[in-house]
Amino acid sequence: MRTLKVFYVVMIALLLFISLAGCKPAATATPAPAPTEKPKMTYEDLTVGFIQTGSEGGWRAANTASFKETAEQLGINLKFYDAQNKLENQLSAFRNFIADKEVDVIILAALETTGWEEVLKEAQAAGKVVVIEDRRIDAPDTLFATYVGSDFAEEGRKAADEMCKLLEGSEKKNVVELVGNVGSSAAKDRGQGFREKMGDCGITIVESQTANWDVTQGKQVMEAFLNKSTDVQGVFAQNDEMGLGAAQAIREAGLTPGVDIKIITVDATAGAFKGMIAGDINTVIECNPLLAPQVYEAALKAVNGETIPKWVKSQEGVFYAKDAETILPTRKY
């Protein structure tokens, strides 16, 4: 019996020793290292792959300059790609930037609204941040960080309101529309916005055709419209260059642009102000191309995991011929 007792005492002591041996006094345990928070990236750490539409006019030149100059100022490593207005070039450049290990952020000015979901999913899988600038796209906004750009439909609505003012008292309100590149959000939404409001004063769109944002095509398309009929009271040109082309065609048809036929354009580049000062263009709806600072700010926040709004909308105005001479010297593009 006594031996058994001694045996139990020894066993309990042993078990106690084993268990106590396991737990070191708190003082000695080295705390598990706290999960290392990824250091915040700065602009100098950023490499950006930028996919531009092409170089189709004053607005685009200002938009490109905004990205190149701001990247320089912020110390961002910018890889700039000009797609020469070809969608297939944009898609292949997008995939090249996904494959480029250096690239943290892909910025896209989309030629057309559709066809982006697949590459956006690939970019997401590759951990690339994507920011859409200038032109919105038709894809779930879960596939990109944010869209920085204008409300093109609102620009179209403004243009219709202004055309109503210009045609006030006019017996007829036949308007022809010069459209941007087919499939782009700028062209679709400006046209839709104009049509939403034109009924307010009984405007009829008698002709509508793309002139691809181009002055020469703007002239040719307007010539064709006037050859069919000169019973036109207004031109809604979806950008400045097409409107300036239309003014040339109107003059060559023996009519006076800005007088016999009113002209409204969108963008507000220096060319449009000169057109207003010359009396060819009556009113201009602004569309801001200087988007780089907002885009880079959003991109940096996104790579650092900060929340950003899904649409960073540009603030824009309307300009009239009577003020053009005073305002032109203050314009940046």
List contacts with ligand GYE (CB under 6 A).
56-57, 59-60, 134-135, 186, 213, 239, 266-267, 287
Q: To the nearest whole angstrom, how small is the minimum distance from the Cβ of residue 333 to ligand GYE?
A: 11
Q: To the nearest whole angstrom, how small is the minimum distance from the Cβ of residue 221 to ligand GYE?
A: 15
Q: For residues 71 and 46, what is the distance between their CA atoms, to the nearest angstrom?
A: 10
Residue carrying the six token digits 């490499």 = 47
Q: To the nearest whole angstrom, how small is the minimum distance from the Cβ of residue 315 to ligand GYE?
A: 15
- Closer residue to ligand GYE, CB minimum distance, 131 or 287: 287
Q: To the nearest whole angstrom, how small is the minimum distance from the Cβ of residue 57 to ligand GYE?
A: 5
47-52: strand order across its sheet? 77-82, 47-52, 105-108, 129-134, 146-149, 311-313
**Which of 329, 201, 212 is closest to 262 using CA atoms?**
201
Q: To the nearest whole angstrom, how small is the minimum distance from the Cβ of residue 62 to ligand GYE?
A: 9
Q: To the nearest whole angstrom, how small is the minimum distance from the Cβ of residue 290 to ligand GYE?
A: 12
- Closer residue to ligand GYE, CB minimum distance, 135 or 157: 135
- Closer residue to ligand GYE, CB minimum distance, 149 or 234: 149
Q: Are the beta carbons of 113 and 135 closer than 8 angstroms? A: yes
Letter for the amino acid at 241?
Answer: E
Cβ neighbours for 170, distance < 8 A, ≥ 6 positions apart: 233
- Closer residue to ligand GYE, CB minimum distance, 135 or 219: 135
Q: For residues 217 and 181, what is the distance between their CA atoms, to the nearest angstrom?
A: 11
- Closer residue to ligand GYE, CB minimum distance, 136 or 173: 136
- Closer residue to ligand GYE, CB minimum distance, 173 or 213: 213
Q: For residues 288 and 315, what is the distance between their CA atoms, to the nearest angstrom?
A: 8
Q: Are the beta carbons of 195 and 205 closer than 8 angstroms? A: yes
